[in-house]
Structure 1
C-alpha cells in the first residue's frame, strides 16, 4: 500500500486545491464529465494518452473527494456512469477560467514548455 512520505500540508486554500486536483488527468476528467461524457469508455476515448488504470484511480480519488459520483446499473454487462456533484460543478467556472488563460497565453506557454524540454 502507498505510504505518504511527505506529511499533508493543508494550511491554505491552494494546498487544499492541490491535494484534491493533483493528478495529470483530474481537471480534464471533471471537464469531460461536465460536458456529458459519463461512461469510462467515453472518458478513455477523450483522453487516449491515459491508461484505463490511471483514469480509474483518478476517478476513484475524485469520488473520494466528493467531486463526482459513480452510479453502477444492475445490468449485464455492468454499466457505470459518473456525474458531477454540486461540489464538483462549482469547480467548472474555475476550470473554464484556467482554460481561457491558457488559450490567451498559448504561444508563450508553448514556447516556455518547449524551451524547458529542449534543455533537459
Structure 2
C-alpha cells in the first residue's frame, strides 16, 4: 500500500529534508537505488543482490521508485519477458546523497552499546 505524501513541502524549515527522505523511505529503496548506481539491472539480478526481500516487496518498491520518476522500467517483448531497471536522470541526482549515506554507514554503521559510545568519546 503506497504511503500518503504531502501535497506541499513548505510546512517547516526541515521539509526539504522530509521531501528527500520520502523518496527513499521504503525499507529497500535506498539499497535498490545504490545498486542501480552501478548500471542497469534485471529484476532477478536485483533480487539476488537483496536475498532477504520478497518478490512482492521488491515489486512494490520498484513501482514506487518508478512512480516517483527515479527508476525507469524497460520491458522487452520476448519470451520469457525481459524487464530491466535503471536510474533516470532524476534518480542519478541522488548519487551524492547515497554516497554520503554509505560513507556515514561505513563510519557509524556498527551497533554499539552505550558503554562503547561513552568509551569512544
Q: Tell me what 1:29 maps to.
A: 32
Aligned length: 110
Contact 2:40 2:87 in 1 (8 A): no
63-72 vs 13-22, which moves further = 13-22
Contact 2:69 2:88 in 1 (8 A): yes
Q: State the TM-score, normalized to the length of structure 1.
A: 0.81
Q: Tell me what 2:118 maps to.
A: none
In structure 2, stretches of 5+ residues that fail to align are: 114-121
Superposition pairs of residues 53-92 of structure 1, within 5 angstroms: 53-92=56-95
How far apart are 1:43 and its partner, in Å? 0.5
Query: Which structure is higher in helix share?
Result: 1
Q: State the TM-score, normalized to the length of structure 2.
A: 0.80
Distance 2:34 2:5 in 1: 29
In structure 1, stretches of 5+ residues that fail to align are: 113-120
Distance 1:22 1:97 in 2: 16
The answer as to 2:112 corresponding to 1:111 is yes
Distance 1:83 1:105 in 2: 29
Which structure 1 residue ranges, 4+ long, deviate > 6 Å from structure 2?
A: none
Q: C-alpha offsets along residues 9-31 of structure 1, whole Å, 9 cap, x if unaligned?
A: 63321121122111010010011
Distance 1:74 1:80 in 2: 9
Q: Residues 57 and 90 (structure 1 numbering): CA distance in 2 closer, same or farther, change over 3 Å? A: same
